[in-house]
Amino acid sequence: MSLEARWRAAAEVTDVLADPPRPPVVGFEGYVPEPCVLHPEQVRTYPFAGLLPEELRERIYAWEDQLEEEGEEDEEDEGEYAGAGGTAGSVGYQYDLSIPPGWRVGGYASWHTTDPARMDCASCATPMELLLTVDSSEWDGGSASWRPVEEAGLHPHPHAVPTQVIVGRAGELNLFACPSDPAHPHRWSIQ
């Protein structure tokens, strides 16, 4: 995979192109973003559960188990069915509270497909920081926590994929940068 990141200052962009340039050869249409409007939001993120201290991770798992049990009891009392996504109203650290879906700048990387991996700079061995996440969707049907209010009740596809970019098998691409020197080569992972 070839990945190129370019830096430019917003002040240098004088005329916005009506028809942005497209690469001559891509190999898969899902790698070229569709023009769309961005509505950035500042969101606090928390580390991937597998990177937390064991004691804290166990406390979170116990809390999730308790919420799930309470949700199952409520469903039995009310005769509700939550479907494949878990109990109605259940909340999970990983998918509801720590790392939101969607395209993000900074924050924490998700390692939900692989175990967490060290991302050290190949030039200076400094631990790298997450620069950008390119996600295949902005939200999914399994977690309503990150779904925009204006999209309540809509099906995730096509509403949650405004860029039409598909990473791997509907995953995400995490791009890491060296905090010591931005000119050092970037690293990436696909989750």
Structure tokens at 73: 């009891």
pTM for this predicted structure: 0.79
Query: What DSSP line would sit under 147-175, residue for residue?
Result: S-GGGTT--HHHHT-TT----TTT-EEEE
Under 8 Å between Cβ of 110 and 172: yes
- In whole numbers, what is the pLDDT of the chain averaged over residues? 84
Q: What is the mean pLDDT of residues 115-122?
A: 94
Interval 119-163: pLDDT, tens: 999 999 999 999 999 999 888 766 678 888 888 888 887 788 888
- pLDDT of residue 89 exceeding 60, the answer is no
Using a pLDDT cut of 70, give the percent of the chain over it: 90
Give the phi and the psi of residue 93 in degrees, each rounded to 5. Answer: -55, -50
Closest CA to 137 of 186, 191, 94: 191
DSSP structure class, residue 90: -
Q: What is the per-residue pLDDT for 9?
A: 78
